[in-house]
Amino acid sequence: MTSMPLATPGTRSAPSTHQVPSSRPVFDNGVSAVPVRELSPTGDYEPPAPYQLIDVAPCTPAIGAEITGVDLAQPLGDALLAELHRALLEWKVLFFRDQSLTAPEHRDLARNWGTPEVHPFLPKVDGIPEVVRLARGADSPAVENVWHSDASFETTPPMGSILRAVQVPAVGGDTLWADMAAAYDGLTDDMKQRLNGLNAVHDFTQSFGATLGPDELAAAQKAFPAVTHPVVRTHPETGRKLLYVNRIFTHHIDGLPEDESRELLAFLYDQARHPEYQCRLRWRPGTVAFWDNRATQHYASADYYPHTRIMERVTILGDRPF
């Protein structure tokens, strides 16, 4: 395989190459943030089968696609649901423009994929506890500007989330998603071996717990004790390996000294920050995003302060990571 010369000879070890699952070449010049390699939505580089009922426009080579030809407020037949689900597994996050959904319709849409969660901490839409309302502005600055996977502190974290734009600023407030299968594939073989069999402890205390009083915190910790998940989980439907640690909810790696755990987690958190693994959505009122929470992390840019941004979200119950 071919490798590129080092930019500054003698300052780093010799260039290296490593393999992705289908033995595509990887180029590491010793300087770039991540090796250069061919990316694909599924990791197997096979052309996807054509879609018959929807139009799918990829946003990047690996993650994100805009879907047209669907009215999410209408009943979705089995064939259409099957295509949407295949697109979700393939592209990890789907974007739908110009949708007119009420909060009950939003909840009912999520029911096509499972049971909507009643979030234990976030504010809800009146009378519809499955729909979380995220209202930010001058009196409520954003706190979602950190890479994370929703509710990984739960024993069975959500399989997916559906987010709807209600009111957005004229500019700013974009959301970014990162493909954590691509991030895992981009690791060296040595790092993959190091991560094999490691588990990490996830806990809400360091995030939502900071907003609770002592009695509320004690009750919440009893209801949601810290849980252990694999550092590298396996997607239950696609079989792909995924990095499954995040800055909000992961506390430490089980069985490692504190310093080593902190250093390793810092490296793994940073894998979501590489643009090669990301897509970015500029919101408009009526835009809907549906993401696979098992396969992605996301980050909501807080660059719109002090303007108003109101979003509504439904998360869908998942299964235990393995």
The one catalytic residue in 136, 148, 252, 294 is 148
Q: Residue 306: is the preceding peptide bond cis (ω within 30°)? A: yes
The strand ranges marked E within the chain are 26-27, 36-37, 55-58, 65-68, 93-96, 124-125, 128-136, 160-167, 175-179, 199-202, 227-230, 232-234, 241-243, 250-253, 278-281, 288-292, 296-300, 309-316
Pairing of strands 241-243, 128-136: unpaired
Per-residue pLDDT at 22: 52
The one catalytic residue in 202, 235, 240, 298 is 298
Residue type, 152: S
The one catalytic residue in 119, 136, 150, 240 is 150
Listed in sequence order, the residues at least 6 apart from 248 whose beta carbon sits closer than 8 Å to its beta carbon are: 146, 148, 152, 206, 207
Residue found under tokens 């080579």: 61
For residues 242 and 277, give the distance between their C-alpha atoms in angstroms, rounded to a whole number. 12
Per-residue pLDDT at 6: 26
Structure tokens given for 112? 């096509």
| Contact (CB, 8 A) for 304 and 171 | yes
39-322 CATH pick, 3.40.630.10, 3.90.76.10, 3.30.930.10, 3.60.130.10: 3.60.130.10
CA distances (Å), origin 236, targets 23, 174, 192, 233, 321: 24, 29, 19, 9, 8
Per-residue pLDDT at 186: 94
Per-residue pLDDT at 105: 98
For residues 182 and 238, give the distance between their C-alpha atoms in angstroms, rounded to a whole number. 13
Give the closest residue to 265 by CA, choosing from 246, 293, 241, 242. 246
| Contact (CB, 8 A) for 123 and 132 | yes
What proportions of the chain, in percent to the nearest 5, are helix, strand and coil? Answer: 20, 25, 50
Residue found under tokens 């949601």: 224
User: Please, what sign has the CA dihedral across residues 46, 47, 50, 55?
Assistant: positive
Helix (H) or strand (E) holding 182, with range, is helix 180-185
**pLDDT means over runs of 10, the chain (322 residues):** 29 35 78 90 88 97 97 96 98 98 97 96 94 95 94 97 97 98 96 98 94 93 96 98 97 97 98 98 97 98 97 97 98
Per-residue pLDDT at 145: 93
Per-residue pLDDT at 161: 98
| Contact (CB, 8 A) for 301 and 148 | no
**Is 252 an active-site residue?**
no
Per-residue pLDDT at 11: 28
**Is 313 an active-site residue?**
yes
- The helix/strand/coil state of 208 is helix
Per-residue pLDDT at 20: 45
CA distances (Å), origin 277, targets 59, 257, 309: 12, 30, 26
Per-residue pLDDT at 3: 33
Structure tokens given for 277? 């693994």
Residue found under tokens 């490692």: 256
Tell me, rounded to whole angstroms, the distance of Cα 141 from its chain centroid: 22
For the beta sheet containing 93-96, the strands, ordered from the edge strand earlier in sequence to the opposite edge, are 55-58, 65-68, 93-96, 288-292, 160-167, 309-316, 128-136, 124-125
**Is 251 an active-site residue?**
no
Provide the residue ranges of all domains of the chain, joining segments of one domain with +: 1-34, 39-322
